[in-house]
Structure formats: C-alpha cells, structure tokens
Structure 1
Amino acid sequence: MRLRFIIVYTIGLAILATGCEKKARLNLPYEGDKIVLNAFIQADSPVYIRVTKSEPVVSDNDTEFTALAHAQVTMLENGLPFSAVHWREINGRGYFVSDTAARPGKVYTIMAAATGLTAVTGTDSIPGLPEASGLFAQQTASQVKFTLKDPAGIANYYRVHLYAADSINGSIQPLSMIKYRMDPSLNDNFADIISDTYYQDLVVKDERFDGKAIRFVLQTDKPVTYKYLVAEVTALTAQGYRYLKSVDEQQNGQDDGNFLSQPVKVYSNVTNGYGIVAGMYTQRMACKVTK
C-alpha cells in the first residue's frame, strides 16, 4: 500500500461529532435504524463517547443524527469494568464522558444499548506514545521540521497537526491550525505523496521508515509570522487509520459528476451498528520560532 495524504477535517471532539455523520454524494442502501457509536480514545484523557441513531439520507442536505441521551453505555478495560460515564453537552452536542482517564497499553470495549435498537460493541487498544523531537521553525520562512523515531518490527500509524501558538499565562497554547504539505525537495521517503495542495492533516503508515528515525520537513501554506509553534504527533491504531482513510475516500475520492462512481463505505469496527471505536496517543511539542 503506498503512502498518501489523508485529508481529515476533524480534530479533538470534532472527530466524535462528525464520525459517520457525512454528506452523501451517492445514494446508498439503508440497512435500517442502528446505533452509531463514535469514540476516539485518547490516552491520559477522559473518554468522550458519541451515541446517536442512524437515519436514511434522502438528499444532499446534511443530516443531523438523533442523539441517544438515554442510552445505556458501559466500558471495559482489558475485559474488566472500567469507569462510569455521564451525559454532558459540549458545544451543542451530547457525549457520554468517563470519570476516569484512559491508560496507555490498555484495551477498551464500549457497549451501548437503547430501547428498540440492537445493542452495539466496539473495541480497540491504546497505542504507544510516539517519539517525536527537535521541532524547529524560523520567522518569515515556510518550513517546519521535526524528527520521528519509529519502533521497529510492528506496523505504526501517525497523524500530524500544526498550530500557530502563543504564550498565555506562561504556557504555550495552540491558537489556530496551520495548513501544510510535505516539502517536495526535502522528503525523499515520501516522494509519492508530494502534493501541490496544502492540508491540515497528514496521516501516514510507517512502511517506508520502519524502525528508523525520519526527518519530517513540512512546508506551510504561508510564511511563519507567529511567535510559537505547536506540533501534535498522534499515534493511531490500525482501526483508527482505516477509519480516517475511508472518510477521506468518501469525502474526496469520488467524482461528483460521474454517476458510475461506486459509493465508498466508511470503515467501522462497531458490531451490529455503525461508527468507530479507536485508540490514539498524542505527543505535543512546542517551540519558539527563531528569528
């Protein structure tokens, strides 16, 4: 499988809010009402679980799925009862939020049941923390650099986000996302994913640099003018990677004018329903932009 850009317009809680709630480009067969279960489980963070009911999409208008606020949601950690979850509304959307933070290296199972619908289950593990270092950027230039050390012998998956940042009360905080692409002149390992377009996300598999320390050179869409930079390097599981890849293919891989295009089904690991339960572990780096 060749490396490629995966365009993903979802970060943080937005991942949960939009998973499986996509704009339809082609008519898809409706398999009946099911529970939609979405949770990207971040290590060292409470778990945010979005539970909704599927609905048939009959037009090009976005469909707002019905939140199942009274669903019965339970979690297991390595097969044993984990934390209680409680309903909360965040930015106008409802989530079941765990009282306890997820832990690295553990396997989590989320189960959801609601009256009149078949109960669903999704399971995934939390990957290891990525080893990224050496974040560097320079004023008025358009390059951001860092090194990623990849563990050998296993398949690893990564996502990268860049943010313009500033120091707020002594802490460097991200302010806005930065669009970027792989620098076409300085990324020999990624020659086949070089693009003329700038994106907010890069998702890659380590098949080209397994067990190596690889230098990422990213080219921003605008010259760097901010004081600080934040980079988030997130380790993904295979299930999270497959989900993000399929979302990209559904949103960007189809030709709207070609009626012979085949519909792309978003990957799901939720038994008896729709959605995704996937683990992730994010390392955040910050640097002061040099003059």
Structure 2
Amino acid sequence: MTSIDLPPGGVRDTAPAVLAGRDLTFGYDDAEPVFTGLTVEVRPGEVLAVLGPNGGGKTTLLRLLSGSLRPRSGQILLDGTGVPQSRRGIGGLRRRVQLVFQDPDDQLFSASVRQDVSFGPLNQGLDAEAVRERVDRALHALDITALADQPTHLLSYGQRKRVVLAGAVAMRPSVLVLDEPTAGLDPAGVEAMLATLEGLRAAGTTLVVSTHEVDLAYRWADRALVIDRGLLGSGPVREVLDDTALLAAARLRPAWGPAVGRALRTAGLLPVGAPDPGTPEEVTALLPHDR
C-alpha cells in the first residue's frame, strides 16, 4: 500500500475552539492528581495529536474531554460554552464528542457488526429508517459494508477497530477522540486507518488522537500537545516535535523528519528554510537520480 502524504498546517491558529478544557484538575480516588490546571483547545477541522509516555495522562485527558470522566475542578467547553456537569449536560457532550478506546474489545458488545454500529443511534431514539441510513453511511465510510452481517467475535483485530470507529461515526459527532487508533495494526493497516481518518476529517470531523508514535504525529497532525502528568508543550506539530529537549522531557524519542532534514541540509540537498521531510517518499524526491 502506498504511504499517504498529508502535510500539516492547513488549520488556522486563530480558529475558535470547538472543544476545550480549561484549568482541568483530576486525580483517581485519593492519589496525587494526574493534572492540575491543565488547559487544552481543539480547533475545528484539525488533527490534534496528544503525545506523551505511558502513564503520562493521555487517556485520562481524552476521557475528560469526552465526558467519560469529570474533573475535580475546571471546565469542559463546547463551542466556547461551558458544559454543565449534569446528566443532561454530559449526555450532550457525549453525543458531540465520541471517544474510541485503544482496545476495540472494550467497546464491542453486540452479536453482529450491524447491531453494534446501530446501538448508539437506536439509543438516541431515532426511527428505524434514520438508524439504517446512519449505519449504512458509517459502514461505507469505514469500508466495512461487506462485514455488516458478520459476527463480531469472528473479526480480525483491525476489523474490530473499524467496527468500533463506525459505531462512533454513526453518532455523527463533531469531534472524534481516538486513543492510539493505529496500535496493534500492521504497516498496511496503519496506512489504511490513516487514510480512513483523513477521509473523515475531509468530511468535517475534528480529530483528537493520542499516540506515542512521534513520526506518525509529525507527518499527519496539525498541532501537537505533549503531556506527562501536566502540559510540557503545545503548538504547530512540526515546531513542537523539532524540540529535542521537549521530547526528551516527555520520554519520547526524537522525530525522524527533523533529523533527516538536518542531514539533508548538511549534504546540500535541502535548502535552508525548506520544511523537513515527513515521509520516506519526500526524502526520495529530494535525492539525485541517475539519468
């Protein structure tokens, strides 16, 4: 499968936040807080990569933003308006912001693919025709229409990931919050998943994606948020991930693109000021070719 090339930077930094967390503090039971006073903004139409080490709080942040957890203090905002910490307020947040866990088996519970994808729309009280239309569109978007009547327990790991994502898409959220969406996939599966997610983004869905894969974030995301039990840095992805000291503080390895870019400039193959490559294909295009 051909590697996709998705240069970041298409989202205006001045765009208002569709989803935000302001001064969030959260801890589990009586343990030391995972976050204290953490603020994050998600802009419409972007891919925001949330990076950090295992145990650094990535999943906790995603669950706070999607209403799966409630902060001890601080506020979640949708389109600039605070979300009430009531049943109705959290329900509205969860309809607009859909969380997809890393392990699909944590969210699959119906006997067949179609039944699983239809669960959310049915619980919204939609009529049968509306549910069928949503499910068909979601299955098509995830390229799993042929699996509609398959038992979920017979699916491959990658297929189960797509079914869970289809269930989220069927809810027609404004924001998809994805915890390690490419984890456990082979290289072809990673590229297929990224192409699918980019299609959802092109259709108007905002994506918040947690990952520890620095190179994946570097070539795909618009902005990056680096956390390790607190905010270490945020900004345009290629600026943030060119900061080797920041990545070391977050126990992340350096990004591949900036390192290759420095080597290419030293060899005179990349002009000063030109963007660093994000994929092997971009590097190949810069190298001299025999005629």
Relative to the length of structure 2, the TM-score reads 0.26
Question: Is the helix fraction higher in 1 or 2?
Answer: 2
TM-score w.r.t. length of structure 1: 0.26
Return the structure number with greater strand share.
1
